[in-house]
Amino acid sequence: MPYPIQHLLEGRSRPTTVTLTDSVTTAIVTMTEKGYSQLPVVEHNNQPVGMITYESIIQAVSNFTVGVDGLQVTHALIKADMFALDDDLFDILDRLQEKNAILVVDADKELIGIVTNYDSTAYFRRRAEDLMLIEDIESMIKDLIQTAFQMTANNDTTPLLDQAIARLTGSQSE
Structure confidence at residue 25 (pLDDT) = 97
Residues of the chain below pLDDT 50: 174
Structure confidence at residue 51 (pLDDT) = 98
> Could you give the CA distance from residue 80 to residue 124 in angstroms, rounded to a whole number?
23
Contact yes or no for 9/85 (Cβ under 8 A) = yes
Helix (H, G, I), strand (E, B) or coil at 12: coil
> Could you give the CA distance from residue 113 to residue 145 in angstroms, rounded to a whole number?
47
pTM for the model: 0.73
Q: Superfamily assignment of 6-122 in CATH? A: CBS-domain (3.10.580.10)
Q: pLDDT tens digit string along 32-51?
A: 999 999 999 999 899 999 99
Structure confidence at residue 174 (pLDDT) = 45
Structure confidence at residue 94 (pLDDT) = 85
> Could you give the CA distance from residue 135 to residue 3 in angstroms, rounded to a whole number?
21
